[in-house]
Structure 1
Amino acid sequence: MQKVPFITLEQAQQIIADVPTPFHLYDEKGIRENARRLYKAFSWNKGFKEYFAVKATPNPYILKILQEEGCGVDCSSYTELMLSEACDFKGHEIMFSSNVTPVEDMQKAYELGAYINLDDYTHVEFLERVAGIPETVCCRYNPGGVFSLGNGIMDNPGEAKYGMSEVQMESAFKKLMAKGAKRFGIHAFLASNTTYNEYYPTLAGILFELAVRLNKATGAKIAFINLSGGVGVDYAPYQPASDIMAIGEGVRKKFEEILVPAGLGDVALFTELGRFMLAPYGHLVATVLHEKHIQKDYVGLDACAANLMRPAMYGSYHHITVLGKEDEPCDRIYDVTGGLCENNDKFAIDRPLPKIEVGDVLVLHDTGAHGFSMGYNYNGKLRSAEVLLKEDGTHELIRRAETADDYFATFDCTPFWPRLHGGQ
């Protein structure tokens, strides 16, 4: 089975004439259509809002597209808050979900009027001390144990550093109410990148029942429940894809079954999707620099793990298309590598592909989230450009590639700076 890229070889060559490979390319049309599907799936909930996880793709052009489609932003750091502010996200269009939070980060979130999602019971006092208690505040839940779906274990919240126990949630709500909070949110993240349509409805059921218990125990007004992220994508062509319409319907049934009878039918639902929103609508476009034939057949790209860390870090699968050879038989077996001095710098191992030659242009699929954003400078590698494929078929450079000056910029405090700039 094959995945179909959203560009042809001819389109790629037109972009490469302006922006040399490697670069991350994003499909505006696909991003917009996907955001509209999500909102349609949850249209039954009057207060529904998606808070895009900025960490997945921190580019202002992408954030503005999502803003135009009704999305807010989920931030976890000072710089993500700055980026969101620069894109004109305001107040409750921003969700701040952080942990081990520095003072200045919390103060910035409070200053912006963001929804603040407290990760720990001790953060109630911390928030009051460094900023203040807003009228609406959120707390993050960790149920402990393992999270299973059917007969399969999805994840292990008991080993996760995030969130509060239910006892702590109840105490936090009471303490926050005593300090002036009037409305509350509940948040939890129990599994990552699952394509099981049952995940969100199961999570929703857990959080809806928690909301009922907390409401009864504290009298707190539950304003929203944030299902966070975790809805995944089909990285491999043989994987099932998440059906967002089925997911939305499954959550609706849990809402009607649990919250409505408890008198909580006005609760708004939020999501914090990153991967689902962007991953399928991004390609890492790279050119073959070398081929090598020893014990195995290798092809080496001008991209490396510094441009896409996931295969080296997690052993993750990313589908590869050789542009212009989509219809040729995949009758060769290659390791597809980058040029880092690390043997795990491989985008694919023993991957069936068409015959590849130096100069071929390859697309690595599903890099729109956690692609560029996880880049780094090991081996002195420079981060790539980012390009937007616009709805009308034209392209726009939305982040230039790094230069050596960027790499050396933080040495401007040293006597080496003039020499690094080519001086004496």
Structure 2
Amino acid sequence: MEKKLFVNKEQLEGIVKEFPTPFHLYDEKGIRERARALKQAFAWNPGFREYFAVKATPNPFILKILQEEGCGVDCSSLTELMMAEACGFSGTDIMFSSNDTPAEDFQMARKLDATINLDDITHIDFLKKVSSIPKLISCRLNPGGYFSIANSIMDNPGDAKYGLTKEQMIDAYRRLLELGAEEFGIHAFLASNTTTNEYYPTLARILFEFAVELHEKTGAKIAFVNLSGGVGVPYRPDQEPVDIAAVGEGVRKAYEEILIPAGMGDVAIFTELGRYMLAPNGCLVTTAIHEKHIYKEYIGLDACAANLMRPAMYGAYHHITVMGKENAPCDHKYDVTGGLCENNDKFAIDRMLPKIDIGDLVVLHDTGAHGFAMGYNYNGKLRSAEVLLCEDGTAKLIRRAETPKDYFATFDFTGLFDKY
């Protein structure tokens, strides 16, 4: 299966004239289409809402687009809460899901009246001590063991640091009721980047059944079930994309079989899809600047792992297109590298590609989520710009590239770096 970009060579050459590589490019049209398709898939649930995971793509221009499409935001830190506030999100627009949470983060979440999703039973008294217990609150479930779909192990929640056990959840809701909470949510994240249509429906059944149990054992009113993230994208050309309409239908069946007979047909469904919403609607645009011929063939790009960490961090695959050579034979084997002083700074290893010449535009697919966001400054590398391809075909700079002045800004050496 061929992976196609949302931008062609002619468009990209025009953008590069205005914004030098490397930069992350986002597709406004694609973002809006995804948001609408997701909303349609869950239209059967009147309370449905997507809370976009800010951690995936923390850019206010992106958040404003999603806000216009009716999405809320999922925040996990003080600065993400600040960004949400600056974009006009407040109250039930914001889901705050954090772990090992500092007091000031909880205090900011309470100031914004965000829906707080607690990660540990000890956080109940911690939140009470540093702020107050809200009327609406959620807790994150970790059922332990292995999470399987059709006898295939998807992940190992029992080895994850997140969430409460089932027994702790029951105790937590009783304690929260004593402290004045009136409505509750349930949240869980059991597998990452799943491309099977069965993930959400399987997770939904687990959470719906537990919601009924919680209500029966504690009397707590369950206002929402948050399926969180985990719905993935096909990074590789041979992977099939998730059918979000089929996913929504699968969750609906579980809802009607479990919640409605229990008299809980008013429970809202929430999602927190960062990767699904943004990954395919972003790419990293780079230029080939070096080639090296030793024991292997290398192509060096003007980007590095500081711009896209996923391949170096855990060997993640990102498809590569050499612009203008989409139909050329892939008869050259390359390691595609960046310039960090680390041997794992490789975007691809032994990748079959068309012959790459110095100056070619080389584009890495599916970087719209957890791409720029995971950037860093090792080796003094500077994070790249972010550019939005608007629906009208124009390109807009939505984050400038870092400069040496930015890198030196936090040093307390008056005047030492002013010349930069």
Trace 1:179-258 onto structure 2 (pairs within 5 A).
179-258=179-258
Tell me how far apart the structure 2 counterparts of residues 288 and 175 of structure 1 sit (CA, whole Å). Answer: 59
Trace 1:156-175 onto structure 2 (pairs within 5 A).
156-175=156-175
CA RMSD of aligned residues (A): 0.8
Deviation at 1:151, TM superposition (A): 2.1
Tell me how far apart the structure 2 counterparts of residues 152 and 295 of structure 1 sit (CA, whole Å). Answer: 40
Match of 1:422 in 2: 419
Deviation at 1:293, TM superposition (A): 1.1
Percentage of matched positions with identical amino acids: 71
SS at match of 1:169: helix
Match of 1:77 in 2: 77
Deviation at 1:251, TM superposition (A): 0.4
Match of 1:368 in 2: 368
- Asked if residue 30 in structure 1 is aligned to residue 30 in structure 2, the reply is yes
Tell me how far apart the structure 1 counterparts of residues 160 and 104 of structure 2 sit (CA, whole Å). Answer: 25
Q: For 1:114-135, what per-residue CA distance to the aligned partner results, in whole angstroms no more than 9, with x for missing partners?
A: 0000111111111111111111
Give the structure-1-normalised TM-score. 0.98
Tell me how far apart the structure 1 counterparts of residues 127 and 295 of structure 2 sit (CA, whole Å). Answer: 59
Deviation at 1:331, TM superposition (A): 1.2
Tell me how far apart the structure 2 counterparts of residues 372 and 158 of structure 1 sit (CA, whole Å). Answer: 30
Trace 1:21-420 onto structure 2 (pairs within 5 A).
21-411=21-411, 413-414=412-413, 417-420=414-417
Q: For 1:194-232, what per-residue CA distance to the aligned partner results, in whole angstroms no more than 9, with x for missing partners?
A: 001100000000000000000000111000000000000
SS at match of 2:167: helix
Deviation at 1:295, TM superposition (A): 1.2
Tell me how far apart the structure 1 counterparts of residues 161 and 416 of structure 2 sit (CA, whole Å). Answer: 45
Tell me how far apart the structure 2 counterparts of residues 419 and 129 of structure 1 sit (CA, whole Å). Answer: 44
Aligned residue identity for 2:250: G
Q: For 1:275-316, what per-residue CA distance to the aligned partner results, in whole angstroms no more than 9, with x for missing partners?
A: 000000001000000111111111000000000000000100
Match of 1:14 in 2: 14
Tell me how far apart the structure 1 counterparts of residues 407 and 18 of structure 2 sit (CA, whole Å). Answer: 22
Tell me how far apart the structure 2 counterparts of residues 299 and 195 of structure 1 sit (CA, whole Å). Answer: 31
Tell me how far apart the structure 2 counterparts of residues 327 and 285 of structure 1 sit (CA, whole Å). Answer: 19
Tell me how far apart the structure 2 counterparts of residues 369 and 180 of structure 1 sit (CA, whole Å). Answer: 38
Aligned residue identity for 2:30: G
Q: Which runs of 5+ in 1 are unaligned?
A: none
Deviation at 1:5, TM superposition (A): 1.0
Give the structure-2-normalised TM-score. 0.99
Deviation at 1:23, TM superposition (A): 0.1
Moved over 3 A (4+): none
Tell me how far apart the structure 2 counterparts of residues 120 and 332 of structure 1 sit (CA, whole Å). Answer: 51
SS at match of 2:409: helix
Aligned residue identity for 2:61: Y
Tell me how far apart the structure 2 counterparts of residues 170 and 2 of structure 1 sit (CA, whole Å). Answer: 49
Aligned residue identity for 1:418: G
Tell me how far apart the structure 2 counterparts of residues 314 and 275 of structure 1 sit (CA, whole Å). Answer: 16
Q: For 1:72-103, what per-residue CA distance to the aligned partner results, in whole angstroms no more than 9, with x for missing partners?
A: 00000000000000000011000000010000
Tell me how far apart the structure 2 counterparts of residues 311 and 179 of structure 1 sit (CA, whole Å). Answer: 46
Tell me how far apart the structure 1 counterparts of residues 347 and 264 of structure 2 sit (CA, whole Å). Answer: 48
The number of residues matched between the two structures is 420
Deviation at 1:2, TM superposition (A): 2.6
Q: Which runs of 5+ in 2 are unaligned?
A: none
SS at match of 1:128: helix
